[in-house]
């Protein structure tokens, strides 16, 4: 068979001309992707090395997937595919053996998603009925905390749905439509604008891929979910980490240039106030970003996604209106309610979701030999934390989206197996701890929100100081 390099593979990056690489072999999936059992998620890998994505999403169907893939081989790869590593292969086999008999889309997670999205839709409708003459203090006091909680939860639901964890391919498009119309998947929108061409992150550094504006639109809304884990918790490649420094106001990563104001970021008052208004600002940007995404979808002929994005703009703006209710209140009450609002926002959103997000990515802990492409599983295990003590009955984590641990709890396991339903991740974590001990690997475990805050505060302290100058 002939051999192809990555530049040749990249030329075949469309649904009607679909090549990809898996384990140093080149495949032509043009005639297969439409009947792919996993649905349209596969399109995200066209024109790329899909080795990691392939192994991530086929843990329960390894043999069957390999037999099917072999039918479409057209040649060998001249480059070098990422190596999953002995640890990952062992872990994958154990997970498949112990959990393979369990439902892949449990009914309880479908019901939770339906409740979250339905409740969010009700809040959006309520906001349309609110006027300046209404008893705003009642609406604000009763509904704003619920809205903040549901907004965070729906973002997590959108994340889990995008990974095909909750619904199978037959029903997932309808759930996708609901989330886009509600405008609640802000993570998706920000990933497209901040992370640039997510698909290119497989084969190219982030800095180069960022030059292509909203290239996500070429493949639909699954792009982020399918691609962003292929390089793991790496500052160079993980688009999620672009948010890690809150637009540069604070410095939490070594790749962020140090500015004079970063010396003040250990001041709890200043950083807490900024974090509050960063969250508010992020929600207010959902509408404009969604409009830009709709324009890009339209440019590339993705009319269904374009329509959903445009229809989601007014929904996002209505949500923003609910956030701005304190501005319509009387001058006497405005200050009090605004203060209570900021405190509630800081407590219910950032103190849970924020600390968890920052603590999960251990970007400065990997050792030099932990190169992502030479032992992918080992690298990801060493560069991620997992929070274990979460459950669906804990109200704190429920209101912060913690009942959807795909992002906010068992992050290490989610990174290793992004397609596994979040309800199974606690069991995957126990298996992972055993396999880590067998292979002599550390297992990074968070014990609670207090531990998360310690990690977060450690980053604030460490990166508040200017980097030391290298001496030749």
Q: Is residue 89 part of a domain?
A: no
Q: What is the pLDDT of residues 206-231, one digit of tens each?
A: 444 333 333 444 445 556 666 667 77
Strands 3-4, 73-77: pairing kind = parallel
Report d(CA 196, CA 207) in Å as an integer: 9
pLDDT, averaged across the chain: 75
Both structure tokens of 155: 């973002």
Share of the chain above pLDDT 70, in %: 63
For residue 321, name the pLDDT band (cuts at 50, 70, 90): low
Q: Is the pLDDT score of 397 beyond 90? A: no
Report d(CA 458, CA 208) in Å as an integer: 30
Specify whether the CB–CB gap between 268 and 238 falls below 8 A.
Answer: no
- Same domain? For 71 and 145 the reply is no
Q: Is residue 219 part of a domain?
A: yes
- Same domain? For 77 and 125 the reply is no
The pLDDT of residue 311 is 80
The pLDDT of residue 26 is 96
Mean pLDDT of 149-158: 74
Give the single-character DSSP code of 264: G
Which of 154, 122, 186 is closest to 322 using CA atoms? 122
CATH of the domain at 27: 3.10.120.10
Report d(CA 113, CA 269) in Å as an integer: 36
- Same domain? For 352 and 238 the reply is yes
∠322-275-340 over CA atoms, to 5°? 50
Domain extent at residue 218: 107-285+328-462
Q: Which residue is associated with the tokens 């192994």?
A: 55
Both structure tokens of 186: 């802000």
227 vs 333, higher pLDDT: 227
Q: Is the pLDDT score of 301 beyond 50? A: yes
- Same domain? For 338 and 213 the reply is yes
Q: Is residue 74 part of a domain?
A: yes
Specify whether the CB–CB gap between 250 and 271 falls below 8 A.
Answer: yes
pTM: 0.83
Report d(CA 166, CA 43) in Å as an integer: 20
Q: What is the pLDDT of residues 267-286, one digit of tens each?
A: 887 877 777 776 666 666 67
Q: What DSSP string runs through 148-161?
A: HHHHHHHHHHHHHH
Which of 149, 178, 160 is closest to 353 using CA atoms? 149
| Least confident window among 158-172, 246-260, 357-371, 386-400 | 386-400
Q: Is residue 313 part of a domain?
A: no
Q: Is residue 140 part of a domain?
A: yes
For residue 395, name the pLDDT band (cuts at 50, 70, 90): low
Q: Is residue 99 part of a domain?
A: no
Q: Which residues contact 108 (CB under 8 A, 6 or more apart)?
A: 423
Report d(CA 108, CA 313) in Å as an integer: 30
Q: What is the pLDDT of residues 137-153, one digit of tens each?
A: 555 555 666 666 677 67
Q: What is the pLDDT of residues 409-428, one digit of tens each?
A: 788 898 899 889 888 988 99
Q: Is residue 121 part of a domain?
A: yes
Q: Is residue 171 part of a domain?
A: yes
- Same domain? For 377 and 240 the reply is yes
39 vs 64, higher pLDDT: 64
- Same domain? For 355 and 395 the reply is yes
The pLDDT of residue 298 is 79
Mean pLDDT of 257-267: 89
| Least confident window among 191-200, 340-349, 435-444 | 191-200
- Same domain? For 139 and 181 the reply is yes
Which of 47, 81, 115 terminates a domain? The answer is 81
Both structure tokens of 465: 């100081």
- Same domain? For 242 and 342 the reply is yes
Report d(CA 162, CA 44) in Å as an integer: 12
Report d(CA 464, CA 216) in Å as an integer: 34
Report d(CA 360, CA 343) in Å as an integer: 24
- Same domain? For 33 and 122 the reply is no
- Same domain? For 69 and 201 the reply is no
- Same domain? For 383 and 347 the reply is yes
Count of structural domains, the chain: 2
- Same domain? For 207 and 271 the reply is yes
The pLDDT of residue 198 is 41
């Amino acid at each position: 068979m002939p051999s192809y390099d990555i530049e040749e593979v990249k030329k075949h990056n469309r649904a009607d001309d679909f090549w990809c690489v898996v384990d140093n072999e080149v495949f032509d999936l043009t005639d297969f992707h439409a009947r792919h059992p996993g649905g349209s998620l596969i399109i995200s890998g066209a024109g790329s090395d899909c080795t990691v994505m392939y192994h991530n999403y086929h843990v329960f169907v390894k043999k069957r997937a390999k037999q099917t893939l072999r039918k479409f081989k057209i040649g060998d790869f001249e480059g070098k595919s990422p190596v999953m590593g002995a640890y990952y292969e062992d872990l994958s086999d154990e997970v498949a053996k112990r959990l393979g008999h369990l439902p892949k889309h449990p009914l309880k997670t479908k019901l939770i998603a339906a409740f979250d999205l339905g409740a969010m839709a009700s809040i959006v409708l309520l906001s349309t009925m609110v006027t300046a003459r209404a008893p705003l203090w009642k609406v604000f006091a009763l509904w704003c905390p619920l809205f903040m909680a549901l907004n965070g939860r729906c973002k997590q639901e959108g994340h889990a749905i995008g990974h095909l964890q909750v619904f199978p391919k037959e029903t997932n498009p309808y759930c996708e439509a609901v989330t886009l119309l509600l405008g609640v998947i802000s993570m998706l929108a920000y990933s497209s604008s901040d992370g640039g061409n997510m698909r290119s992150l497989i084969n190219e550094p982030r800095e180069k891929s960022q030059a292509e504006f909203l290239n996500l639109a070429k493949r639909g809304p699954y792009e982020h979910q399918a691609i962003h884990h292929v390089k793991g918790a790496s500052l160079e490649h993980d688009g999620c980490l672009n948010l890690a420094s809150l637009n540069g106001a604070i410095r939490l990563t070594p790749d962020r240039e140090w500015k004079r104001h970063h010396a003040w970021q250990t001041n709890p008052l200043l950083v807490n106030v900024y974090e509050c208004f960063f969250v508010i600002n992020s929600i207010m940007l959902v509408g404009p970003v969604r409009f830009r995404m709709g324009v890009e979808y339209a440019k590339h002929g993705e009319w269904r996604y374009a329509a959903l994005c445009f229809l989601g703009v007014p929904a996002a703006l209505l949500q923003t209106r609910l956030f701005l209710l304190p501005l319509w209140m009387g001058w006497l009450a405005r200050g009090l309610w605004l203060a209570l609002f900021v405190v509630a926002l800081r407590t219910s959103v950032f103190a849970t979701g924020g600390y968890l997000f920052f603590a999960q990515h251990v970007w400065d802990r990997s050792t030099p030999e932990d190169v992502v492409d030479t032992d992918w599983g080992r690298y990801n295990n060493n560069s991620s934390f997992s929070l274990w003590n979460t459950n669906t009955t804990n109200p704190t984590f429920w209101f912060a989206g913690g009942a959807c641990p795909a992002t906010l709890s068992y992050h290490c396991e989610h990174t290793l197996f992004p397609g596994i339903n979040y309800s199974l991740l606690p069991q995957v974590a126990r298996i992972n701890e055993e396999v880590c001990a067998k292979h002599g690997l550390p297992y990074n475990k968070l014990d609670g929100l207090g531990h998360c805050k310690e990690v977060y505060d450690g980053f604030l302290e460490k990166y508040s100081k200017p980097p030391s100058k290298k001496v030749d």
